[in-house]
Amino acid sequence: MSSIKLKDISKYVCKNVNLEIFDKELLVLLGPNGAGKSTLLNIIAGLIDYQGSVFFDHKPVDKLPANKRRIGYLFQELNLFPHIDVAGNIAYGLRVQKQSQNEIKVRVENLLQIMKIKHLSSYYPKQLSGGEKQRVALARALANSPSILLLDEPMNSLDYRTSKYLRTEFKILQKKLEITTIYVTHNFYEADEMADRIAVLDKGKLEQVGSPEEIFFHPTKAVSDFIGEPNILNGDYYHRLSFLKSTEIKDH
Amino acid sequence: MKRYKILKLKWEIIPIIIFLGIWEIIARLNLISGHFFFPPFSTIVTEFWYLTVNGVLGPNFLSSLIRVLVGFSTGSIAGLLMGIIMGWSEVTNKALSPIISLIYPIPALGWLPLLMLWFGIGEILPITIIFICSFFPILYNTVTGINNVNKNYIFAARILGASDLKILVTIVVPLALPNIFTGLRLESGMAWRVIIAAEMVAIPTGIGALLMKAESLIRIDIIIVCLIILGVMCLSFEIFFTFLEKKLTNRWR
């Protein structure tokens, strides 16, 4: 069980943010640059001080330092330690938590396998491609079996194809691991693809929280300014060829 | 790969051989004021041999070497530890920076008169001079190196559960190594330059003292032997630290 609740959170641009993220949910925090998305993640992670309260499973964690919050955090810049190889990066959290050598070895092997990066275990971050770095960073974030995962625009630096592929993989993994996740992005289509629910943040204010359909079909004024008004075309749906799907537009 | 390295080394030696050849020819042809003031390279080699066999060069060289090693290693370790403390703790940095900024610009040899009165003429004097000459630059390089470490790495380590001490030892200091090594490399050569100067002025043994004796006896060949030794030692120390730096950081930089 790992729900997150933010109560009257204020810091920098964020003013009195109240938000609840349910257990095992993938919530996408959507908003333009400078909306305060990363600030909220850093507050949840305990990396910066703030006003208000953060609750994990209804228990306040405001006094809990970052290294005790049991959070996995995938930073925008990934922040893989450049002087440590892939296996070492993944094992870092386990080592500093003084897990036994045997446990570390098994866990790292397991993550290397899940992330399909076993062949990269002795490589250094500078030798990896963008997508490979992404996988290593995710493996490192998951190594300590965190109960909460925070992802700060992790696909930003990747090309469209790699990003799409990794997003699909990640979504499957998130459901499999049943880990409560906050995924930050400024791209609505990415949000739509990933989210169980979307929270739209603008200038530090939560504008709308709801399912992707709610946000897309019934945006509030501020949200539609950001994502745009939807173009809705009514139509009938039929099969033309067995492998092609088509829609006939009746009216609009 | 090895073959390539040998080839590269050969190319580097060629200019030196040409330089020594020209030197020999100019001296032998008496183009610059005769053998006495400008002895040929072969005479320098012969003199080096005599000085070594007669037991003059060995003890003097050893005295200088021990002073440099003791002064440089203690100065570097102290500078490194102090630099780590100042780089990591903002309070300590703010408290000590003004004092250090005031003392740092004083050239190491400027301390000589004061140290002579405090410690007298003995081994403590040159070792302290080298200590001072190494301490401040390495301290500054360490502080800069630590301050330059991307704060996001520290955040990442903290999130992964690392304590402050663990972050310092496993992330911050290793990432500051390139800066630390720049300090070590430059100051190891500087230590030799300073010890020679200190020995010339105030200490009766060592390569610097031998240099002064040779000057008083107008033995230009011995002076050149001493200068070559100084050049070779500066270079060797710098090469050693470059090698060590590459060994420790090249894999990931």
Q: Please measure the distance between the N-terminal and C-terminal CA atoms of chain B and give it in whole angstroms.
A: 20
pLDDT grade for B34, boundaries at 50, 70 and 90: low
Of A67, A72, A125, the CB nearest to B158: A67
pLDDT at A30 over 90: yes
Say if strands A244-251 and A234-241 run parallel, antiparallel, or are unpaired.
antiparallel
- Report the alpha-carbon distance of residue B128 to residue B110 in Å, rounded: 12
* pLDDT at site A233: 80
For residues A46-78, b (16+ Cβ closer than 10 Å) or e, as one string? Answer: bbeebebebebeeeebeeeebbebbbbbbbbbb
**Domain identity same for B195 and B101:** yes
pLDDT at B233 over 90: yes
* pLDDT at site A247: 61
**Domain identity same for B113 and B217:** yes
- Report the alpha-carbon distance of residue B201 to residue A203 in Å, rounded: 69
Domain count, chain B: 2
Do the beta carbons of residue A91 and residue A104 sit within 8 Å? yes
- Report the alpha-carbon distance of residue A62 to residue A40 in Å, rounded: 13
pLDDT at A246 over 80: no
* pLDDT at site B44: 96
For residues A17-29, b (16+ Cβ closer than 10 Å) or e, as one string? Answer: bebebeebbbbbb
Q: Name chain B contacts of A72, Cβ cutoff 8 Å.
A: 159
Q: Is B156 on the interface with A (CB under 8 A)?
A: yes
Q: Is B95 on the interface with A (CB under 8 A)?
A: no
pLDDT grade for A230, boundaries at 50, 70 and 90: confident
| B63 contact partners, CB below 8 Å, separation of at least 6 | B205, B206
Please give the average per-residue pLDDT across A233-249, as a whole number.
65
**Domain identity same for B110 and B174:** yes
Cα A106 to chain centroid distance, Å, stands at 26
Nearest residue of B to residue A41 by CA position?
A: B159
State pLDDT tens for residues B133-180: 999 999 999 999 999 999 999 999 999 999 999 999 999 999 999 999
Nearest residue of B to residue A46 by CA position?
A: B159
**Domain identity same for B86 and B190:** yes
* pLDDT at site A199: 97
State pLDDT tens for residues B63-79: 999 999 999 999 999 99
Q: Which tokens sit at A57?
A: 């499973």
Query: Does B159 sit within 8 Å of A71, measured CB to CB?
Result: yes
- Give the side-chain half-sphere CA count within 13 A for B145: 28
pLDDT at B202 over 70: yes
CATH number corresponding to A1-70+146-233: 3.40.50.300
Nearest residue of A to residue B165 by CA position?
A: A96
* pLDDT at site B185: 94
Please give the average per-residue pLDDT across A238-245, as a whole number.
60
Please give the average per-residue pLDDT across A37-48, as a whole number.
95
Reported as type and span, the H/E element at residue B191 is helix B173-201
Is the pTM higher than 0.90? The answer reads no
Cα B61 to chain centroid distance, Å, stands at 15
* pLDDT at site B48: 97
State pLDDT tens for residues A173-197: 999 999 999 999 999 989 999 999 9
Domain region containing B88: 40-250
**Domain identity same for B117 and B21:** no
State pLDDT tens for residues B35-60: 678 899 999 999 999 999 999 999 99
- Give the side-chain half-sphere CA count within 13 A for B119: 17
Q: How many contacts (CB atoms, under 8 Å) link A and B?
A: 66
Q: Is B150 on the interface with A (CB under 8 A)?
A: yes
Query: Does A84 sit within 8 Å of B155, measured CB to CB?
Result: no
Rounded to a whole number of angstroms, the distance from the CA of B79 to the nearest CA of chain A is 23
* pLDDT at site A249: 63
Q: Is B160 on the interface with A (CB under 8 A)?
A: yes
Query: Does B170 sit within 8 Å of A96, measured CB to CB?
Result: yes
Query: Does B152 sit within 8 Å of A79, measured CB to CB?
Result: yes
Query: Does B158 sit within 8 Å of A81, measured CB to CB?
Result: no
Query: Does B159 sit within 8 Å of A82, measured CB to CB?
Result: no
Q: Mapping DSSP to helix (H, G, I), strand (E, B) and coil, where does residue B155 land?
A: helix
CATH number for the domain including B120? 1.10.3720.10
Nearest residue of A to residue B249 by CA position?
A: A83
State pLDDT tens for residues A105-158: 999 999 999 999 999 999 999 999 999 999 999 999 999 999 999 999 988 878
Do the beta carbons of residue B229 and residue B206 sit within 8 Å? no
- Report the alpha-carbon distance of residue B197 to residue B195 in Å, rounded: 5
Q: Name chain A contacts of B163, Cβ cutoff 8 Å.
A: 67, 96
Q: In sequence order, what DSSP letters do the residues of chain A get, joined into one string?
A: ---EEEEEEEETTEEEEEEEE-TT-EEEEE--TTSSHHHHHHHHHTSS--EEEEEETTEE-TTS-GGGS-EEEE-TT----TTS-HHHHHHHHHHHTT--HHHHHHHHHHHHHHTT-GGGTT--GGGS-HHHHHHHHHHHHHTT--SEEEEESTTTTS-HHHHHHHHHHHHHHHHHHT-EEEEEES-HHHHHHH-SEEEEEETTEEEEEE-HHHHHHS--HHHHHHH------EEEEEEEETTEEEEEEEE-
**Domain identity same for B24 and B97:** no
Do the beta carbons of residue B157 and residue B175 sit within 8 Å? no
Calculate helix-pair angle for B41-53, B2-28, nearest 10 degrees: 100
pLDDT at A25 over 60: yes
Best mutation target, B150, B160, B164, B170, to test chain A (most A CBs within 10 A): B160
Q: What residue ranges do the domains of chain A occupy? A: 1-70+146-233, 81-144
Q: Is B33 on the interface with A (CB under 8 A)?
A: no
**Domain identity same for B208 and B92:** yes
How many CB atoms within 10 Å of residue A197?
Answer: 18
**Domain identity same for B170 and B195:** yes
Short-list A73, A240, A233, CA closest to A153: A73
Q: Which tokens sit at A46?
A: 């305990």
Short-list A149, A209, A215, A211, CA closest to A183: A149
**Domain identity same for B47 and B158:** yes
